[in-house]
Amino acid sequence: LYPVMAAVVCGARIGANLAASLANMKISEQIEALEVMAVDPLSYLVSPRLWAVTIALPLLCGYADVVGLAASYVGAVYQLDLDPGSFITQVQEQVRLVDIGAGLFKGLIMGWLVAVISCFHGYSVAKRDGAEGVGVATNLAIVHGAVMCIVVNLFLSWMIYG
């Protein structure tokens, strides 16, 4: 569940930023200026953003796993009066390496997906769309990114766990 939560929450924040910044560059003709200077806008603007989100989201998923386990430990030991040794033993027995790997893999795929969707919507704004086009692109990036993360999570869970 952590990869989906991280992807949806960060996808909304990061996706909005990516789409809005690229859309603003598009309507203010900054991308055309790069093309005039013989700079490929996709490799200069989109590629670093794509790599950054693709790398950052699995790291965030790993961090969310650690925080979730720590919060579970605190809740189980201090709220439910469970023996700390029993909790750690159960975690070691129930959490498999494939579960951790699957979560990080899902984070990688969803990070890439959020970046691609957001950059696509931001890059596809036309100059004539103006500020309204920036808002529409940002909204579409958030909604499509969240929906695709949920759909991809369903598909990947089915593929990994059967």
What end-to-end distance do the CA atoms of the chain give, in Å? 16
**Rounded to whole angstroms, how far apart are CA atoms 146 and 115?**
12
**CA-closest candidate to residue 1, choices 52, 50, 72:** 72
Q: What is the 3-state secondary structure (H, E, C) of 104-142?
A: HHHHHHHHHHHHHHHHHHHHCCCHHHHHHHHHHHHHHHH
pLDDT per 10-residue tile (average), the chain, 162 residues: 82 92 94 94 94 94 90 95 94 92 92 95 91 94 94 93 86
What pLDDT was estimated at residue 127? 86
What pLDDT was estimated at residue 4? 85
What pLDDT was estimated at residue 2? 74
